[in-house]
Amino acid sequence: MNEYANRYYVVISAIVFVAIIFIIRLFSIQALDPSYKATAESNSTRVVIEFPTRGLIFTRDSALMVENKSSFDLMVIPENVTAFDTSYFIEILQLDSIQFIKEFIKAKKRSYIPAMVYKEIPDSIITKFQELQWMFPGFYLQTRALRHYPLSSAAHILGYIGEVDKNMIEKDAYYKQGDYIGITGIEKTYEVLLRGKKGRKLYLVDAKNRIRGSYKDGEMDETAISGKNIVLSIDSRLQTFGEQLMANKRGSIVAIEPSTGEILCLISSPAYDPNLLVGKNIASNYTQLRNDEANLLFNRAVMAQYPPGSTFKLVNALIGLQENVITTHSHFTCAGGYNVGSFHLGCHHNGSIEFYYSIQGSCNAYYCHVFDRILRNKEFQTIGESYTEWRNYVMQFGLGKRLGTDLAQELRGYIPEASHFDKYYGKDKWTPLRLISMSIGQGELGFSPLQMVNMTAAIANRGYYYTPHLIKNIEDLDTIPSKFKQKHTIDIDSAYFEEIIKGMEMVMKAGTAANAYVQGLDICGKTGTAENPHGKDHSIFVAFAPKDNPKIAISVYIENAGFGSTFAAPLASLLIEKYLRDSISVHQWETMLLNTSINYKTK
């Protein structure tokens, strides 16, 4: 009897054990494994991601630079798809059959997860598809906003947005496959502000994939939060006018407000229409732009490294005064240039040159003497020490280093360290003559137009600057990033800046830029002509106005255009007048520049 009882208990125990296993497995499937739950729910619900409206971008004068335009993407939930007439489907939506099939096969691997299979369905067929959507369970349209650039300008400022890649998704969990992100320019710098926050809606759908209402009365919905609108410091009139004047030319214009560091215009020429890098044609258009021989994607304003030419004499003059190696009464002889033994650096002057005229007439020999005195300064034991001190002064103007502006592509420029010359000539065995071309802004020096206008603003401010920036205002925020409000002071007595400015004023009234003088604007400027080993010299001009309480500082580089007075100076005067008066008085300059194309063939 006991034997039967034992068998009975064994059988009962086995049955209970198996039952427990089934119960645990059923609980796991229903409560713990999300894939089963998602599969079940996907048969009756649809999750629709709500993409937030990306923030708009305005100029300081309230012109709309960037807006949004609605677009529709074709989505699919593979698990809900039933047999359908593929040919008819492709015909209705005017799809590329190969691309559609490729994306659909890829989507099927994700089963119940919604996936995009075709971007930007033409507006003309949206209504027709919506009427026939019941014939194609599992497919639906999802709205997305694409960028649109009403002014068709400022491409190098604004940048563009593009689809995220695997690395971007890994770095930020916010992004999913098919999302868009700022790739360059302001779109990249202020991505987190502009993008907003995605939302989602859960809908109940019937057997024909038609929405029948909200899931759980919307309890699980999340509202999308629009991106913040931002206002840039750009003046739309100045930006547009500058782009027109730079048509058929290569180079850059940058203008800033000295008292704030706000960038008023930033032009890199040649440029392109930013609307080309929008939507599904981004890849093909980008390839064309990248391969264009004019290097259209290259932002010369912040990436090019030009020799500063004679504009750099202003910095050497200031350093010479501060280091007490010259005064405003110093005279140097120019005999058609600077002559040491067999060495000759040419100049167009002859005779004894005084300080103010050295700026007014841009005497090369004068600044060779100034630079020689700076490097032979008896306050320092070696030329390496005096050169390093000189270099430190130069960098205080924001030259040869990244300024930290809100354009991510900014490059640092170049001023060699003393070790560079030690390497070639031996430790402290080099002389000022080896570096003498740097006295007039040539040699190893290379600065961007942005750095040069920043230098000019520092002179206009009599010895300080604010980091140049494009952001002026952010929606719902009381301030902009604090780094743009920090004053950068130069260790040169403000009184010396007044002396330099006096010379710059003479440049406009009776000097190298007298041809670009505009009555009543009180412009202070300096011309430059940078040697170019690949062709004709570059035309350079820096200026600010008015002399007291300056409202605008500007740098202009026109490649292969010759003397700074020929093209760069008149162009700068036009833009200064446009900004200060909103009018143009010397129309022959405007006509000349609009009708000029520069030949870029090498020598």
E strands in 57-138:
57-58, 64-76, 115-121
pLDDT in tens, 61-76: 999 999 999 888 888 8
Least confident of 109-113, 223-227, 284-288, 450-454: 109-113
pLDDT score for 50: 84
Is 439 in contact with 316 (CB distance < 8 Å)? Answer: yes
Checking if the pLDDT of 2 tops 70, the result is: no
Cβ atoms < 10 Å from Cβ of 135: 16
Checking if the pLDDT of 9 tops 90, the result is: no
What the block records as the tokens of 158 is 């604004």
Is 161 in contact with 189 (CB distance < 8 Å)? Answer: no
E strands in 197-250:
199-205, 211-214, 230-232
Cα–Cα dist 176/159, whole Å: 21
**Mean pLDDT across 157-186:** 93
pLDDT score for 114: 78
Return the amino acid letter for 450: L
pLDDT score for 14: 64
Q: Using alpha carbons, select from 432, 449, 411, 404 the residue that is nearest to residue 311.
A: 449
pLDDT score for 372: 98
What the block records as the tokens of 455 is 């230098």
Checking if the pLDDT of 311 tops 90, the result is: yes
pLDDT score for 36: 44
What the block records as the tokens of 395 is 């960098």
**Mean pLDDT across 175-180:** 87
Cα–Cα dist 283/280, whole Å: 7
Q: Using alpha carbons, select from 540, 601, 598, 603 the residue that is nearest to residue 572.
A: 540
- Please give the CATH superfamily to which domain 236-594 belongs: DD-peptidase/beta-lactamase superfamily (3.40.710.10)
Is 146 in contact with 278 (CB distance < 8 Å)? Answer: yes
Checking if the pLDDT of 48 tops 80, the result is: no
By three-state DSSP, how is residue 134 classified? helix
Cα–Cα dist 60/43, whole Å: 51
What the block records as the tokens of 122 is 């033409």
pLDDT score for 394: 98
Strand partners, 337: 346
By three-state DSSP, how is residue 11 classified? helix
pLDDT in tens, 504-517: 999 999 999 999 99
pLDDT score for 39: 44
Angle subtended at Cα 430 by Cα 429 and Cα 431, rounded to the nearest 5 degrees: 125
Residue 351: left (phi > 0), alpha (psi -120 to 50), or beta? left
Checking if the pLDDT of 494 tops 60, the result is: yes
| Burial of 5 per CB tally in 10 Å (0-12, 13-18, 19+) | exposed
**Mean pLDDT across 430-440:** 97
**Mean pLDDT across 14-38:** 60
Residue 498 φ/ψ, nearest 5 degrees: -60, -40
Least confident of 89-98, 99-108, 167-176, 200-209: 200-209
By three-state DSSP, how is residue 508 classified? helix
Least confident of 5-9, 218-222, 231-235, 256-260: 5-9
**Mean pLDDT across 520-535:** 90
pLDDT score for 7: 64
Average pLDDT, the chain: 91
pLDDT score for 255: 98
Least confident of 227-236, 520-529, 530-539: 530-539
| Burial of 313 per CB tally in 10 Å (0-12, 13-18, 19+) | buried
Residue 417 φ/ψ, nearest 5 degrees: -80, 165
pLDDT score for 209: 58
The number of residues making up the chain comes to: 603
By three-state DSSP, how is residue 218 classified? helix
Residue 247 φ/ψ, nearest 5 degrees: -60, 140
Is 184 in contact with 303 (CB distance < 8 Å)? Answer: no
Pairing of strands 471-474, 524-530: unpaired
What the block records as the tokens of 483 is 């780094």
pLDDT in tens, 321-334: 999 999 999 999 99
Going by pLDDT thresholds of 50, 70 and 90, the confidence category of residue 19 is low
Which residues neighbour 123 within 8 Å (Cβ) at sequence distance 6 or greater?
A: 72
DSSP 447: B
- Please give the CATH superfamily to which domain 51-202+212-232 belongs: Penicillin-binding protein 2a (Domain 2) (3.90.1310.10)
3-state secondary structure 464-497: EEECCECEEEECCCCCCCHHHHCEEECCCCHHHH
Q: Domain-by-domain residue ranges, the chain?
A: 51-202+212-232, 236-594
pLDDT score for 112: 66
pLDDT in tens, 437-492: 999 999 999 999 999 999 999 999 999 999 999 999 999 998 999 999 999 999 99
What the block records as the tokens of 222 is 């999340």
**Mean pLDDT across 524-540:** 89
**Mean pLDDT across 15-20:** 68
Share of the chain above pLDDT 70, in %: 92
pLDDT in tens, 131-159: 888 899 888 888 878 999 999 999 999 99
DSSP 400: T
Strand partners, 350: 335
Return the amino acid letter for 81: V
pLDDT in tens, 561-602: 999 999 999 999 999 999 999 999 999 999 999 999 987 654
